[in-house]
């Protein structure tokens, strides 16, 4: 690792720490910075309300933002490498489509029947989480079954896309026959949400994401081989099929869990691997993984900061911010680096 | 931002007022002999009824959010040769009496029942949302036809029913479905009751519906009773010095939808002797707030009234444990408008409640000042356990 890269790494790490502190400090409610630092250094505050806001609202949201950014970045990287396609992202296998279908069934069909969500409460986050997980898991199982039978990664990509279209169509039909209120409830879910996770949900969310990230990092070496082609990887003695399965499962765990808890967060998954590759000018996964994890967290924290519109009572939907902010960053980087395709293949 | 909004709304108001002035002048210019007698409307800002010698003229003003259009309808008793279907400068003409009609919203139904015209309703979209017992029975007897989901109403069914009139509503400027129905020769009239800012303004729409049945007098006396009852309760509870603080709504995604200070919901709280925590806000819309800002302002709220579809305190806690930090939750002072929620997804609060703001106000007054409302029994609201 040369000096320039380690300098850049250090810089990103410092930015991450600053953003975490900023994210906890700024929000709709104004809390003096001094109070935040006092509280974060372990002392208690006189204002119990502020303590609660920091502990129950802002810290869980900052943790969620870090894990969502990292998780989506890593799963995007895994998919881009597996398919050797710069347009691939965490949801390319139809995971978010599956999750959307689960949620649409729970909200839209459930409401039409007058049961389900209507009786259990729309904000019943566990119900939505469960519905999304089941939807994502169903699609995932089919994809895994197909991937065991099919040798070609590209076919898998097309099958994933088809799944997306098919589930999208079913969701449209459901929307067509639903009441305005239920369509709105569904739409709100599709906007994404980082603030919905409390410590109870985080008890599940944190370990799943951390373990999946850990598993992904162990795949660095075979992923590097895969970049040079299936043939080359096979010649190194890699079991391609087994590896593909591992990549798909890790991606599904990351993207599926994140979508289940936070809704389909757009753009981060596709943008982060590109941003990282362009910044570090490398395709080596040993380096890419830690950097994708850090930059994913940074971008997500930054987007959330903007979505909060500090100082105002109002909030913006997180998905609007990720796309509006993410697209120009990628375009700028791609234009700046004319040899974009080279950065991808390493 | 609010400052800018103020200017924009001022601009629109001026525009609206000037448009309406022009209209009056034009009418008087072309037809100077007829001078109409307007019906007294006290609270509603969205409709007018004017009686002329040979017809009644109904006007519906800005029937969807942001709309600046005024729709004019003329109701005739004598036979009309060419009932016109055009909107805009030529009013829609309609033949009285109306013997059958289709309504698109449950909020239109209570007026029919109160005017004893329930047998005139022959079709409704998604009849399972109706909660009134009278209408439910008529649905079961096959006297009210289900016209399919409200966002894609089966127009062929309406054409087959061939009602004298369809009373519709629109949430935006997409009137394509309404135009389609009109093309089949059935007059469609827009209703804007859901946009009224004052609770009594909503109830006053009974006068609008009554015009189709020549029951203006009956409507006036029914409305006066409701108004009297509303004002009595208001006078009784607002003189009490103690005003408990109240919040409403729940969080969806990351957003807490909270009525602005000039919204219908806020006026109800004010009139029932409570201190609504967002009453200072000058908006008549629903505010989109972050959970933490609601928490900051409402953590010590005495009451939490109106919690979407939650049926118990446990449901609320399971949905998000942070709700439990609100004082009203800890003290068990959480109420919801689900006492009359129907088995098929309907809720009388969104049906009968529109026409009976006096009952809603009595319920709210009983929540905030039970000692003054001993004789009243909860109707729409219930306490969650």
Q: What is the mean pLDDT of chain A?
A: 82
Beta B303-305 vs B275-276: how paired, if at all? unpaired
The answer, yes or no, to whether residue B29 has pLDDT greater than 70, is no
The residues pairing with B275 across neighbouring beta strands, listed in sequence order, are: B245
In which order are the strands placed within the sheet that holds B101-103? Answer: B145-146, B121-124, B101-103, B165-168, B188-190
Q: Is A217 helix (H, G, I), strand (E, B) or coil?
A: helix
Contact yes or no for A317 and B254 at CB 8 A: yes
The residue among A263 and B88 whose pLDDT is bigger is A263
Taking CA–CA distances from A122, the nearest residue in chain B reads: B309
- Tell me which residue in B171, B289, B295 faces A57 most closely, judged by beta carbons: B295
CA-to-CA separations, A89 to A158, A161, A226, A269, B361, in angstroms, rounded: 13, 11, 17, 6, 53
Q: Which pLDDT belongs to residue A316?
A: 82
* Nearest-neighbour CA in chain A from B83: distance (Å): 33
Specify the DSSP element, H or E, that contains B189: strand B188-190
Please give the ipTM for the structure prediction: 0.78
Torsion-angle region of residue A42: left (phi > 0), alpha (psi -120 to 50) or beta?
A: left
CB B323 within 8 A of CB B298: no
CATH 3.40.50.2300 for domain B240-383: no
In the CATH scheme, what is the homologous superfamily, with its name and number, of domain B29-226? Nitrogenase molybdenum iron protein domain (3.40.50.1980)
Measure the CA–CA gap between A132 and A128, rounded to whole angstroms.
6
Contact B252 A122 (CB under 8 A): yes
CA angle B359, B361, B362 (to 5 degrees): 65
Question: Across chain A, how many H-helices and E-strands are there?
Answer: 18, 0
Q: Where are the domains of chain A?
A: 63-345
Of B255, B292, B310, the CB nearest to A29: B292
Alpha-carbon B70 to chain mean position: 18
Q: Where are the alpha helices (DSSP H) in A84-151?
A: 95-104, 110-112, 117-120, 125-149
> Do B180 and B155 contact (CB within 8 A), yes or no?
yes
Give dist(CA A247, CA A218) in Å, integer: 11
Q: From the list B295, B308, B321, which residue is nearest A121 (CB)?
A: B308
* pTM for the predicted model, two decimal places: 0.81
Pick from A27, A198, A308: CB nearest B322: A198
Q: Which CATH number fits domain A63-345: 1.10.10.10, 1.10.3470.10, 2.120.10.30, 3.30.70.2740?
A: 1.10.3470.10
What is the band of A115 on the pLDDT scale with cuts at 50, 70, 90?
Answer: very low
Tokens of B21: 């002035």
Dihedral angle, C-alpha B66, B67, B68, B72, nearest 10 °: -150
B367 vs B310, residue with greater confidence? B367
CATH 3.40.50.1980 residue spans of chain B: 29-226, 240-383
Distance from CA of B206 to the nearest CA of A (A): 25
**Is the bond preceding residue B121 a cis peptide, omega within 30 degrees?**
no
Q: What is the pLDDT of residue B270?
A: 93
Using pLDDT thresholds of 50, 70 and 90, give the confidence band for residue B6. very low
Determine the pLDDT at residue B177. 86
Chain B: give the shortest CA distance to residue A84, in Å.
Answer: 35
């Amino acid at each position: 690792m040369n000096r320039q890269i380690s300098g850049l790494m250090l810089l990103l790490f410092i930015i991450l720490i600053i953003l975490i502190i900023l994210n906890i400090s700024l929000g709709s409610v104004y809390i003096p910075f001094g109070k935040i630092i006092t509280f974060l250094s372990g002392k208690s505050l006189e204002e119990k309300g502020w303590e609660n806001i920091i502990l129950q609202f802002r810290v869980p949201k900052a943790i969620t933002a870090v894990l969502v950014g990292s998780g989506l970045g890593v799963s995007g990287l895994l998919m881009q490498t597996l398919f050797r396609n710069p347009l691939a992202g965490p949801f390319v296998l139809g995971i978010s489509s599956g999750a959307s279908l689960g949620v649409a069934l729970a909200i839209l069909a459930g409401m039409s029947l007058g049961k389900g969500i209507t009786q259990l409460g729309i904000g019943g986050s566990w119900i939505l989480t469960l519905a999304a997980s089941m939807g994502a898991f169903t699609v995932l199982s089919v994809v895994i079954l197909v991937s065991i039978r099919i040798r070609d990664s590209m076919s898998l990509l097309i099958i994933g896309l088809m799944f997306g279209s098919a589930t999208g169509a079913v969701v449209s039909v459901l929307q067509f026959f639903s009441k305005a209120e239920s369509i709105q409830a569904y739409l709100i879910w599709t906007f994404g949400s980082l603030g919905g996770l409390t410590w109870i949900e985080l008890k599940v969310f944190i370990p799943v994401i951390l373990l999946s990230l850990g598993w992904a990092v162990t795949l660095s070496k075979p992923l590097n081989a895969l970049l040079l082609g299936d043939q080359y990887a096979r010649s190194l003695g890699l079991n391609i099929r087994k590896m593909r399965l591992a990549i798909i499962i890790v991606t599904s765990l990351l993207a599926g869990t994140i979508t289940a808890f936070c809704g389909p967060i757009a753009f981060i998954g596709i943008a982060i691997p590109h941003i990282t590759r362009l910044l570090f000018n490398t395709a080596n996964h040993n380096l890419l993984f830690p950097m994708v994890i850090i930059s994913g967290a940074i971008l997500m924290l930054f987007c959330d900061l903007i979505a909060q519109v500090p100082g105002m009572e109002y909030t913006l939907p997180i998905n609007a911010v990720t796309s509006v902010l993410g697209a120009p960053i990628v375009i700028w980087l791609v234009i700046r680096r004319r040899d974009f395709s080279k950065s991808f293949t390493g | 931002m609010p400052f800018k909004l103020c200017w924009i709304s001022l601009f629109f108001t001026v525009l609206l007022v000037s448009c309406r002035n022009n209209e009056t002048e034009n009418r008087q210019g072309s037809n100077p002999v007829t001078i109409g007698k307007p019906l007294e409307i006290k609270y509603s800002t969205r409709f007018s009824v004017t009686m002329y010698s040979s017809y009644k003229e109904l006007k519906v003003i800005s029937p969807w959010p942001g709309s600046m259009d005024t729709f004019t309808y003329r109701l005739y008793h004598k036979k009309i040769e060419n009932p016109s279907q055009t909107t805009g400068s030529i009013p829609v003409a309609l033949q009285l009496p109306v013997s059958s009609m289709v309504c698109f919203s449950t909020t239109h139904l209570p007026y029919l029942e109160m005017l004893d015209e329930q047998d005139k309703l022959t079709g409704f979209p998604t009849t399972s949302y109706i909660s009134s017992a009278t209408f439910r029975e008529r649905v079961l007897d096959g006297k009210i036809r289900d016209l399919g989901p409200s966002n894609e109403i089966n127009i062929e069914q309406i054409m087959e029913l061939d009602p004298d009139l369809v009373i519709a509503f629109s949430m935006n400027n997409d009137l394509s479905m309404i135009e389609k129905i009109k093309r089949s020769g059935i007059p469609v009239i827009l209703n804007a009751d859901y946009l009224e800012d004052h609770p009594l303004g909503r109830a006053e729409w009974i006068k609008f519906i009554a015009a189709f049945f020549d029951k203006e007098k009956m409507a006036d006396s029914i409305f006066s009773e409701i108004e009297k009852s509303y004002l009595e309760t208001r006078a009784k509870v607002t003189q009490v010095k103690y005003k408990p603080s109240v919040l409403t709504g729940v969080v969806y995604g990351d957003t807490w939808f909270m009525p602005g200070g000039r919204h219908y919901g806020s006026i109800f709280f004010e009139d029932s002797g409570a201190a609504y925590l967002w009453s200072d806000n000058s908006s008549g819309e629903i505010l989109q707030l972050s959970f933490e800002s609601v928490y900051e302002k409402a953590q010590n709220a005495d009451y939490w009234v109106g919690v979407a579809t939650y049926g118990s305190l446990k449901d609320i806690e399971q949905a998000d444990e942070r709700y439990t930090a609100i004082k009203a939750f800890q003290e068990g002072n959480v109420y919801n408008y689900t006492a009359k929620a129907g088995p098929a997804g309907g809720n009388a609060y969104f049906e009968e409640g529109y026409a009976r703001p006096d009952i809603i106000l009595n319920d709210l007054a009983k929540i905030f000042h039970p000692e003054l409302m001993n004789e009243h029994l909860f109707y729409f609201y219930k306490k969650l356990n």
